[in-house]
């Protein structure tokens, strides 16, 4: 038979946790990859946001918006022919270089109907 006693209770022992008994954080190689990725993602996001328009962008101070006009390329017309007709006294290579820079063209190949910005000093 068991006896029940009321009013008295035995003190409860609580475990004492010390720094030595706390488990150390151990990362597996997969965990290192995950945490490394989490650290790199915000840096890449900021870089993409700050550099969004950088490639091929024209600085606002270099070419004011009102200093050029547009010309449509005629069928069979080349940049050389366009440069000669726009500035007969100028070296066509210089005119072509300015047109290519202004329009951010990688090559001198143009297509019929293509609109090209022309510096105002040639559009006279």
The CATH number given to whatever domain includes residue 97 is 3.10.350.10
Confidence of residue 51 (pLDDT cuts 50, 70, 90): confident
Cα(90)–Cα(80) distance, rounded to whole angstroms?
A: 12
Q: Is there a domain that residue 91 lies in?
A: yes
- pLDDT tens for residues 10-27? 667 776 666 565 667 777
pLDDT at 116 exceeding the cut of 70: yes
- pLDDT tens for residues 57-91? 555 555 555 566 888 999 999 999 999 998 899 89
- What CA–CA distances, in Å, run from 58 to 26, 53, 89, 99, 109? 50, 9, 28, 14, 21
Q: pLDDT at position 81, please?
A: 92
pTM to 2 decimals? 0.46
Indicate the DSSP class of residue 73. Answer: P
Q: Is there a domain that residue 104 lies in?
A: yes
Q: Count the domains in the chain.
A: 1
pLDDT at 55 exceeding the cut of 70: no
Q: Is there a domain that residue 4 lies in?
A: no
| Nearest one of 68, 70, 65 to 82, comparing CA atoms | 70
Q: Print the domain residue range for 80.
A: 68-119
């Amino acid at each position: 038979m068991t006896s029940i006693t009321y009013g008295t209770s035995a003190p409860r022992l609580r475990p004492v946790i010390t720094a030595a008994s706390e488990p150390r954080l151990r990362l597996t190689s997969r965990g290192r990859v995950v945490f490394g990725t989490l650290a790199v993602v915000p840096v890449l996001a900021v870089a993409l946001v700050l550099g969004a328009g950088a490639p091929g962008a024209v600085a606002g101070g270099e070419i004011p918006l009102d200093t050029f006009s547009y010309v449509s390329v005629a069928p069979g017309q080349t940049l050389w022919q366009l440069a000669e007709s726009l500035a007969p006294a100028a070296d066509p290579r210089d005119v072509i270089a300015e047109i290519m820079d202004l329009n951010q063209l990688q090559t001198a190949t143009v297509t019929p109907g293509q609109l090209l910005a022309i510096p105002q000093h040639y559009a006279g």
